[in-house]
Structure 1
Amino acid sequence: MTGYGQNERPGGSDRLADEFFLMAHDESTGKPRLAERIAGLGLAGALLGELVVEARIELRQGTVTVLDSSPCDDALAGRVLEFLKQEEHPTRTWLAFFAQSAHDEVGWRLTSAGLLVREGRKRPWQHGRWVPVSPSVAARPTALLCTQLIRGQDLDQRSAVLLGLLRATGLDQPVLWEVRHTAPEAMRRVGEALSTLEASFAELVMQTEAAVGSAIASHRV
């Protein structure tokens, strides 16, 4: 497998990986909240999750099966699906592969949507940073999810799988701090929501968590 369009800038939309990306960065400065490798795996999981949401793929027993290979409206989702169509690999292999470029791919998608700007490197050894155009807009996915939990609102599968990816990567610690502080009893609903995930979503969360655990154990973070 080779890179999947790192130089393209796909159109942005309100998608699972977009929300995970915004949650994984400070809403004002764009400073990462996760190690690069872990964030990449979370974003890779979210990109696969977008295709599960659209009933394009199915995840089961460590494998990915394409259910619908028709063209996607979103360019990035289309590229991910094209790779899944062409080759067969275990889910963990796909996660590791997409994790290599997911950060930049999703960053460009959000830039095209007008939500981020790319800040250049201040020093040669530093990476550039994706900075939100509007802190309030960048904070919206976190605010909405926390509000749902605090108010005891029902969570759909999409929100539940987002929670699963947050927990799998450890991003739930900074993202859900307000819930823990103001309504700690609401944290029980996170476990309840995860227990009701459909099979493909539950498999996605499990495989992402396993990939993160492997990366941490091998010190590849």
Structure 2
Amino acid sequence: MPIADEFYFMTHDDVSGDSRLHAKAVGFGLAAALLAELCLLDLVRPLPEGVAVRQAPPPPDALIARVHGQLLAEPQLHPVRDWLAYLGRSAEADIAVRLTATGALQLVETRRLLGVQRRFMPVSVNDAAWPAARIIGRLRRQEDLVLEDRILAGLVFATGLSNTFMWDDVRGRQLSHIIAVLDEPLRLLIAETELAVSKAVATLT
């Protein structure tokens, strides 16, 4: 399952589909996950001066191809934070649509007094819970994480989701190591995500 799809499940309740975080934090985190997918395809490279994009044929995934095209369309480099803000506006809905297309989510309509409530809910509770359970299990057993899981763990800490999952027992001991073994562009992506979320949360208090 793509990184952004797994992070979507981590940021939403396994049963109800409700968000576990403030909308801004979810948006920034999922935007970063989409950029991480492009990084793994060697199509983008987050740099201090901006996100560098490589000219290449569109990737097979429709959502990733669209995001790649959006970055390619810009004539100049834009900072990571700008892309997080831009992609974060629609990332949650975009990824929900992708998950629905693969059969992992379903759109459920509930009639209310004032209208119809629509929400995306997991088709399988076990599948929805698996990404978080897998990573926390490996962290607590101090097992090595594959690259994709290191990125997910970094995004969990960057968005504050570690508080929801009560990951405090592994935060200080392992976070620095998890991030340190990533290459510089991915470390920058996670750091910029943490900064964007922190600023967004500060405006709410």
What is the TM-score of this pair, normalised by structure 1?
Answer: 0.84
Aligned twin of 2:178: 193
Q: Give me the whole-angstrom Cα distance separating, in 2, the residues matched to 1:167 and 1:216.
A: 14
Aligned twin of 2:68: 81
Aligned twin of 1:169: 159
Q: How does 1:1-221 map to 2 (within 5 A)?
A: 14-87=1-74, 88=76, 89-120=78-109, 122-123=111-112, 124=114, 128-175=118-165, 177=166, 184=169, 188-219=173-204
C-alpha displacement at 1:67, in angstroms? Answer: 2.5
Contact 2:139-2:170 within 8 A present in 1 as well? no
C-alpha displacement at 1:156, in angstroms? Answer: 2.5
Q: Secondary structure at the match of 1:155?
A: coil
Greater strand content: 2
| Shift in alpha-carbon separation, 1:68–1:157, aligned structure 2, 3 A | farther
Q: Secondary structure at the match of 2:59?
A: coil
Runs of 4+ in 1 over 3 A off after TM superposition: 121-127, 184-187
1:170-192 CA-to-partner distances (Å, cap 9, x unmatched) read 011223x3x55xxx368612321
Contact 1:69-1:85 within 8 A present in 2 as well? no
Q: Which runs of 5+ in 2 are unaligned?
A: none
Q: Give me the whole-angstrom Cα distance separating, in 2, the residues matched to 1:32 and 1:122.
A: 20
Task: Give the number of equivalent residue pairs.
Answer: 202
Contact 1:62-1:203 within 8 A present in 2 as well? no
Contact 1:69-1:81 within 8 A present in 2 as well? no
Contact 1:149-1:186 within 8 A present in 2 as well? no
Q: Give me the whole-angstrom Cα distance separating, in 1, the residues matched to 2:6 and 2:187.
A: 19
Q: Give me the whole-angstrom Cα distance separating, in 2, the residues matched to 1:146 and 1:106.
A: 23
Aligned residue type for 2:94: E
Q: Which runs of 5+ in 1 are unaligned?
A: 1-13
1:81-126 CA-to-partner distances (Å, cap 9, x unmatched) read 0011011322111111111110110001111111111123644588
Q: Give me the whole-angstrom Cα distance separating, in 2, the residues matched to 1:201 and 1:41.
A: 15
| Shift in alpha-carbon separation, 1:20–1:126, aligned structure 2, 3 A | farther
Identity of aligned residues (%): 35
Q: Give me the whole-angstrom Cα distance separating, in 1, the residues matched to 2:171 and 2:87.
A: 33
Q: Give me the whole-angstrom Cα distance separating, in 1, the residues matched to 2:155 and 2:171.
A: 18
C-alpha displacement at 1:64, in angstroms? Answer: 0.4
User: What's the RMSD between the two structures over aligned residues?
Assistant: 2.0
Return 16-25 or 210-219, whichever deviates more: 210-219
